[in-house]
Every structure is written in C-alpha cells, then in structure tokens.
Structure 1
Amino acid sequence: MDQNVMYIIIGVGALIVGLVAGRLIFARNTKKQVEEAEQQAQNILKEAELRAETIKKEKQLEAKERFVQLKSEYEREVNERNRKLGESENRAKQKEQSINQKEANLDKQVKENEAIKENLNRQIEVVNQKRTELEKHQEEHIRRLEKIAGLSAEEAKTQLVESLKAEAHSQALTLQQEIIEDAKLKANKEARKIVIQSIQRTAAEVTIENTVTVFNLETDEIKGQIIGREGRNIRAIEAATGVDLIVDDTPEAIILSSFDPLRREVARLSLQRLVSDGRIHPARIEEVVEKTRRQLEEQIIEIGERTVIEMGIHGLHKELVRIVGKMRFRSSYGQNLLMHSRETANLCAIMAAELGMNPKLAKRAGLLHDIGKVPDEETELTHALLGAKLAEKYGENPAVVNAIGAHHDEMEMQYVISPIIQACDAISGARPGARREIMQQYLQRIKDLENLALTYTGVEKAYAIQAGRELRVIVEADKVTDVDSDKLSFEIAQKIQTEMTYPGQIKVTVIREKRAINIAR
C-alpha cells in the first residue's frame, strides 16, 4: 500500500510539473502549445494512475500468496508438535506401566527376603548353640590334655613353634648350602667351558716389541756419512726424530734406541731413504723426516681402516680408526697393543655369542678397550678412564664407554658386557708367551707377594708358585682355625688387589694341617 501512495504522489508531482511547464510555455509560446502541454500532462497522469493500479494489484496478490504460505507452514508445525506430544504421552504411559510392574516385583522380592532372613536367623541361632557346645567340649579336652602333659596350652604351643622354627631353619640352611654349591659347580663348569672354547677358537699372533731397532747397512763406510762432520748429521737425526742413534763396533749396523716404537719407525724409514739417496746433511734430514712422518700417519690410518674392515666393525669415528692404527706401533709388557686388542675383541665376540648377548657390541668394546694407551697428548688420567673419555667424545655406545672405563675396575660396571671385556683382556694378557717382564721386576713381585702373606698372624710359610699366579700360604694349626682360614684367604686376596700391580689374576690358597702325635711304649 505504501508503494501505491508513492506512485500517486509521483503522478501528482508529474501533473504539477506539467502545469507549471504549461504555464511557462503559455507565458512564452502560443495558446496551442499550452493546450498540447496540458494534454501531455493529462496523458502522463493517466499513465501514472494505470501504473499505480497495476502495482497495487500485484502487491495484493503477493500478500495473499505469502499469507497462504505462512498459514501452511504454521499448520505443518502444529501437526508436528501434536505428533511429538502423542509420542511423548505414549512413552510416558509405557514407563508408568514398567514402573508399576517393577514395584510389584520389588514388593514380592521384599516378602521373599524377609522369609529368607527369618530362616537364616533361625539357622544362626542353631549354629551359635552348637558353637557354644563345641567350645565347652574343646575347653574340657584342653584341660584334660594339660593335666596329662603337665603343660599349659600356651607353653605347648610355644615349644611346638620353636621346635618347628629350628627344624625349618636347619633345613633351609642345608638347602641353601646345597643350592649354592650346585650353582657354583655349574657356574664354574660353564664359565670354564666358555673360556676354554673362546681361547681355542682364537689363534692370535705373539708379537714381542723391543725398545731398540737395528738398522742394517751395506758397508761400514756409510756410518761416517750418517755421523757427518763433527757429528752434525747424527745430531740432526736425533733432534728431528727423538731417537738415540748408537754407532758402535757392531759391523754394518746402527742401533736405534727409543721407548716409542713410532719414533723408531720414523727414524728407520728416514735413514733408509737418506742412505738410498746419498744426500745426508741437516736440511735434507729435516725434510726427509717430515715427509716420512706424514707418510707414516697415512699408513697408520690405512692400518686402522684395514683392521676395522677385517674385524667387521662399522660406523667407527675416523679419529678412533686412526687411534686403532696407531696401536700397531705400541706395546704393553712387550705384547703388541694392536694384536692384543684384536685378540681381546675376538674373545669378547665369542664369549658374548656363547652367553646369548650382542657379539658385535662386545667385539667393538674389545677392540677399543686400550685406546687410552696411545694418547696424542700427555694426561694424568689412567688409560682406562682416558679411553672411556675418548670413546664418549666420539659418540660410542654407552655400553662400550662403560666397558672401556671399567676393565680395570676404575669405573662401576653398569652393563653386562663390561665383565666380559675385563675377563678377555686378562685372558689375552695372561696366557703364556703373550707378555714378558724384566727379570728383576718379576723376582721383586714374587718376593712382595710372599712378604705380604707373612705379615699376617699365624702364617708360618708363604710360597709364590706358577710364575706368581698362585700364592700358597701355610698357617699354624694351633693359632688359625678352619673358619679363620677362609677369612685369611679373603683378606690376603683383597690386600693384594689393592696394594699390588700384576697382570691377570692371583689365586690365594691357605693350607692348615693338623697333626695328632702320640707314642706307644
């Protein structure tokens, strides 16, 4: 309706505009033009009225259609609500019926339970009566037993408990001792079997290193060239290599003396090149020694790489590979360090496989267990702790690091492979022919062992046998009992372990002999 009014207003406005325009035209033009303008205005007004009527009818139709549509939607919503209300009423009726049924059943169960409760009460009364009678009979029976035995019930009970406790304790101790003895026997047999098999399956070379190297010459005339004018050449060689050159009356030979095998090898190769070249003077010596040292470093890396490939060890840091190669030029008690490490690694792998463990990890730890013996810089750490530090630095497995640091009990063993590494290191170093000692040091160690045992009270004699690997201690029977013998053996072993340095292990055997002497006359 608002739009119709608007169109009427538009029509009236248009009429007014036409009239105004007509008047203006009349003022300017002729009367005919005024009439034409009025006619146009009337036409415009008729068109506006027709248009307004048309719009009015359209809007009325739209309003009717909208009314019908809203009415239809309202009827649908009312029907849907009525349907839901009907369903809710049906569900409420069903629930009411179910509740009524449950109430009826509950009333029935309550009545049944009351009957059962009454029956149980009667039975409980009967049981209480019987229990009272039984207690009376039991008290009478106990009084008769106490009268016969002459003991009260508590006293008899205490005696019985003590007797059973003592018997059980005795049986438990006997069973415990049998289990321990059986476990020791089986463990010793199994351990001995694994060790023997591991040693038999590993055939390592026996390489003994010396502190001197003999450099052979074709003729003694070359000695003069090596010495040089006023000994300048030999001094230059010694200064460049750190090796002492001994030129004596030995025919066609020069002795290279140094505690460091790596330095001796540098000096030997340098001398070989200088003699072959023929040009021997200080400047040339320094050049050749430096070149030889670089080539030897490359050779060390090559030895390390070849070793890890032959051992089947992968992922080793290149610096650890270089240290492994460097072990070729080190020795321990005369035993070549690389050969010892390889042998230890093979023994570890075999033992680990026999025990159902990881043989590759054990072999890796066995090969690296002595890397602390070839440091690039001097340090105050022991070789085991230094080796563990290097292994940790270059990203080795924590089990390998612990095995390296604990193989001389300088770290706490935290992994199962650690005692395996320690045992295999001892096997490799303690087997006959593997290592050597200076005779004086060996005799001193034997003497120290015997003197250590003689410091204990009751020890009569002490003998170090089997090359110092067993200590036999003879005690006085009247001063040392059998129990004291066990204690004495343990104390001596502990003191040896804490105060002495020795390869492998030492067995302490205490012997107590009791002699009973009588004379028949």
Structure 2
Amino acid sequence: MFVSTNALIAWEAEFGHGLLVAQTSNGVIAIVAMVVGLVVGAGALLIVNLLRGRELKAKADSILAQAKTTADNLVRTAEVDAKEAALRQKQHLEQEANKLREQVRKKESTLERREESLQQAADDMRKQEKMVEANQRRLSEKIAEATRRSEEVKRLVQDQTQKLLATSGLSREEASERLLKNIEQELEQDIGNRILKHERRVHEICEQKSQEIILTAMQRYASAHTADSTTSTVDIPNDEMKGRIIGREGRNIRAFEKATGVDVIIDDTPGVVIVSGFDPVRREVARQSLDKLIADGRIHPSRIEELVAETEKELEKFIRRKGQEAAEEVNIAGLHERVIYMLGRLHFRTSFSQNVLRHSVEVAFLSGMMAEMIGLNPDTARRAGLLHDIGKAADHELEGGHPKIGADLLKRHGENEIVVHAALGHHDQLTTDFPYTLLVATSDACSASRPGARRESLERYIKRMEELESIARGFEGVEQAFAIQAGRELRVIVSARETDDAKAAKV
C-alpha cells in the first residue's frame, strides 16, 4: 500500500506537468477566444455601423431630395409671384400711362381751344385796325373838306364885307356883326341837320352791329331744352304697397314725411304714389328713398331714417359732381367748393320749366362768344354768365331776391368784382357800370327767349314767326315766305314773272 517516494515524485511530477500543460492550454484558448470575440465584436460593430451609415445616408438622401423638391417649389412659387407682381405693376403703369395720356389729351384740347380763341381775337384785332385806318382816312378827307369850306367861307365873308361896305355905307364893325349873324343862322341850321343825320346813322350802325353779334352767338351755340316736371311720382308694384307705406296707424308715412320734409300723397290712382314738396332737392331725396324702400321691402321707421340719410349723402355727392361738370363744360377753374355745390343745386331748380343749371351754362357760352366779338375777355364773361343765377340755389333759405343772394355768396367766396356785379345787376336795366353785366343780361334774355326754353314764350314765339312771314309776303313779287331756325333765317320764294334778278336782290 505504500508507494515509493520516487514513484510518487514521478507521478506528481508527471501529473503536475500535465496540469501545467492543461492550464497553459486553457489560457491560450481564453486569449484566442477573447481575441476572436474582440474581432467578431469589432466586425459586428463595423457591420452595425456600416448598416447604420447606409440608413443615415438613405435618410440624408431622402431629406436632400425633399429639400430640393421644396426648394424647387419655392423657386417656382417665387417665380409665379414675381411674374404676377410684374404683371400687376405693368397693368398699374399702363393705367397711369392711360391717365396721363388722357390728361395730355384734355390739355391739348384746351390749348387748341385757346389757340382758336387767340386766332379769332387776332383776326378781330386786324379787322378793327382796318376799320380804324378807314375811319382815319374818312376823317382826313372830312378835315380837308372842312378846311376847303372854311377857306370858301372866308372868301365869301370877304366878298360880302366888301359889298356891304360899298353899298350900305355901314362901318366895318356893323357890317361884320350883321354878316356874322347871317352866317351863324345858316351854319346853325346846317350843323343841326348834319348832327341829326350822323346820330341816326350811328344809331343804325350800332343797332345793326349789336343784332349781328347777338345772332351770330345764338347761331354758334345751339342748346337742347326739355321742360322739367316739378311733380315727382313713384311707381309701386301693387296697391298693397300703399298700405305698407302708410304703416300701422300711419306711423311709416309720418316717419317718412318727418325725415324728408315733404308730403306723400296716396290717392286712388293705381300703381303711383306722389311726392310733393317746395324744395326740389328734398323732393328728389324723398323720391329716391321711397324707391329704395319699395325695392328693399323693409318699411319701418328706423329703416326709413337709415335710407333717407344714405340717400342724402349720395345726392350731395351727385350735386357736387353736377356742379363740377358744369364748370368743366364751360372751361372755368378755381371755383370755391361751396360755389360748386350751390351750382350743382341748380340742377334741381327750374324757372318757368327751364332747368336753371342748363340755362346758366347756355348764358356762359353766349356771353363768351359775344365777348370775343366785341373785344372783351371771354373767360371772364363765361365765368360771370355761369354764376349769374347762383342765388336761385338758396333763395328760399335767405332773405332777398336771387341777384342779391348770389352776389353776397360770390363775394364771400372770393369772386372778383366783375362776376359779383354781373350776378347783382343782370336784371337791373339802370346798372351800366360794367360791360360784362350788360353782356350777361343780354345772354340771359337770349337764353330765356329761345323757342322751347320756357313754356310761357311758346305762344309769343309762334306769333313772331307768323309776323315775320307776313312781313316778307308784303314785298312786291313775293309769293311765299317761311321762317325757319327759330326766326334766324327767312326763306322767300319770289315770282319769276314779276321779279328780275335786281328786284330779287333788293328783296
């Protein structure tokens, strides 16, 4: 059972060596496994990182593609916006250019009219210069004739003096006194006859010239007139609407009359409501407001007040526009806003059924034309003619006649003395301080007497035409006569058997 020491030592040595060898082998394996694990882990890590890098790259590529798409969209949107902005700017510039071209056209038209006026004035001036030269020649001839006659009178005086001294035995002083008395009596009679003759001639020339000027102006300006009715009527769809306009216990119609200041007349006339009022502006406000209420269908006091206020604002703008249009029509600038407003109110005024604003425009044109022909300023004449009846726009609000009211209004708003005086004195026959006042008064009378302008003148116009034709038929050889163009032209038919060319020219 006992083992020898050598054998044990040998076994221990052999076994310990084997154990050492086994332990050494296990360490190497562990190291190799660790290295392999590290290599495998590093490889796996590299593979994972590689896969993750590819995924990130794909995401990056996707983001870049989206960014590029977004950028392209933004660029296209910006291009479209830029094109739209450029188109809008182009349209705006074209509109501005059209406005400028229109302004230039208007200014060119104004300059052409002024050139024509200046050319006409120059022609008139040349005619007047020729007339002055002709008058100077006639005056020189008359002076020479007077000198010749004076010499002849002196010679006759000397002859008479010698005869008287020789036959009468009078002294020179007595003879001279008697002779001078005889000559004075003869000359007084001759001078009186000549003065009367020249006065009649001057009167005929002045009357002929004034008629020529007035007729020329009336022929150059032809205006159409319509008689404006002072009754305002409103059409309604059915008779049931009358009851809605009246309202419960009449509250709607009372509210309407209170808001507009006019009377609403509802009678048995089918389909019509009558608006009656003293002020034509209020009557127009009432008419338009009632039209709006009927179209709207909501008729009650609060709605009535709302629509009346809205209509008053619209009508005020319309009045200012009519005043501005009238001023532009006659080429008048620099009017005060209040004057333009009062001028526009004349659109709703009538005088003997003649629209006062159209009458004022016609007076302005006639005054300007006649002013050109007699050497006055046509612009001043047109301004005075346009504003002469402006007092009629406010004569129910202020005391006094429309000439005084208009003159006060124009004076307060900076118009010159000529225009103020024309408004004040165009109905005053004794006011002759300013020639423009007489010019406006003449144009006013021409406009009022134009056939059809006022209702009261129609019968007188027909009678005047008949008298003109009757006078023409009273001449020898005249078979028929026709008054045309409101009496400005008379066409005469003569008999060829009774009248030759010379007699026809005389007729």
Q: Which of 192, 197, 220 pairs up with 2:211?
A: 192
Establish whether residue 380 from structure 1 lines up as the match of residue 415 from structure 2: no
CA distance in 1, matches of 2:210, 2:241: 59
Match of 1:408 in 2: 427
Structure 1 pair 211–329 and aligned structure 2 pair: CA distance change class (3 A): same
Match of 2:267, SS? coil
Match of 1:286 in 2: 305
Establish whether residue 338 from structure 1 lines up as the match of residue 364 from structure 2: no
**1:286, distance to aligned residue in structure 2 (A):** 1.5
Q: Is the 8 A contact 1:236 1:285 kept in 2?
A: yes
Per-residue CA deviations over 1:18-60 (Å, capped at 9, x if unaligned) read xxxxxxxxxxxxxxxxxxxxxxxxxxxxxxxxxxxxxxxxxxx
Establish whether residue 366 from structure 1 lines up as the match of residue 385 from structure 2: yes
Match of 1:311 in 2: 330
**1:220, distance to aligned residue in structure 2 (A):** 2.1
**1:375, distance to aligned residue in structure 2 (A):** 1.5
**1:362, distance to aligned residue in structure 2 (A):** 0.3
CA distance in 1, matches of 2:394, 2:403: 11
Match of 1:262 in 2: 281
Q: Is the 8 A contact 1:211 1:260 kept in 2?
A: no
Structure 1 vs Structure 2 CA RMSD = 2.6
Code of the aligned partner of 2:398 = T
Code of the aligned partner of 1:414 = D
Structure 1 pair 143–220 and aligned structure 2 pair: CA distance change class (3 A): closer
Q: Is the 8 A contact 1:348 1:421 kept in 2?
A: yes
Structure with the greater relative contact order (CA < 8 A, sep ≥ 6): 1 or 2? 2
CA distance in 1, matches of 2:377, 2:272: 51
CA distance in 2, matches of 1:299, 1:306: 10
Structure 1 pair 185–362 and aligned structure 2 pair: CA distance change class (3 A): same
Match of 2:224, SS? coil
Q: Which of 192, 199, 212 pairs up with 1:173?
A: 192
Q: Which of 238, 247, 258 pairs up with 2:266?
A: 247
Q: Which runs of at least 4 in structure 1 moved beyond 6 Å after TM superposition?
A: none
**1:260, distance to aligned residue in structure 2 (A):** 2.1
Structure 1 pair 297–331 and aligned structure 2 pair: CA distance change class (3 A): same
Q: Which of 224, 241, 249 pairs up with 1:222?
A: 241
Q: Point out the more displaced range, 407-416 or 309-318.
A: 407-416
Match of 2:293 in 1: 274
Structure 1 pair 154–319 and aligned structure 2 pair: CA distance change class (3 A): same
Q: Is the 8 A contact 1:209 1:331 kept in 2?
A: yes
Match of 1:322 in 2: 341
Match of 1:163 in 2: 182
Match of 1:303, SS? helix
Match of 1:354, SS? helix
Q: Is the 8 A contact 1:384 1:410 kept in 2?
A: no
**1:215, distance to aligned residue in structure 2 (A):** 0.9
**1:168, distance to aligned residue in structure 2 (A):** 1.7
Match of 1:255, SS? strand
Q: Which runs of 5+ in 1 are unaligned?
A: 1-141, 444-464, 470-521
Code of the aligned partner of 2:259 = A
- Alignment length (residue pairs): 304
**1:400, distance to aligned residue in structure 2 (A):** 1.1
**1:145, distance to aligned residue in structure 2 (A):** 5.8
Q: Is the 8 A contact 2:364 2:382 kept in 1?
A: yes
CA distance in 1, matches of 2:163, 2:274: 107
CA distance in 1, matches of 2:242, 2:399: 41
**1:151, distance to aligned residue in structure 2 (A):** 3.4
Q: Is the 8 A contact 1:403 1:418 kept in 2?
A: yes
Structure 1 pair 184–147 and aligned structure 2 pair: CA distance change class (3 A): closer
Establish whether residue 426 from structure 1 lines up as the match of residue 456 from structure 2: no
* Larger helix proportion of the pair: 2
Establish whether residue 347 from structure 1 lines up as the match of residue 366 from structure 2: yes
Per-residue CA deviations over 1:350-404 (Å, capped at 9, x if unaligned) read 1001112111110000000001111187222221122111111111121111111
CA distance in 1, matches of 2:322, 2:449: 26
CA distance in 2, matches of 1:279, 1:363: 48
Establish whether residue 212 from structure 1 lines up as the match of residue 268 from structure 2: no
Q: Which of 336, 360, 376 pairs up with 1:357?
A: 376
Q: Is the 8 A contact 1:324 1:371 kept in 2?
A: yes
Q: Is the 8 A contact 1:212 1:256 kept in 2?
A: yes
Match of 1:249, SS? coil
CA distance in 2, matches of 1:313, 1:147: 80
Q: Which runs of 5+ in 2 are unaligned?
A: 1-160, 468-507
Q: Is the 8 A contact 1:402 1:413 kept in 2?
A: no
Structure 1 pair 438–253 and aligned structure 2 pair: CA distance change class (3 A): farther
**1:292, distance to aligned residue in structure 2 (A):** 0.8
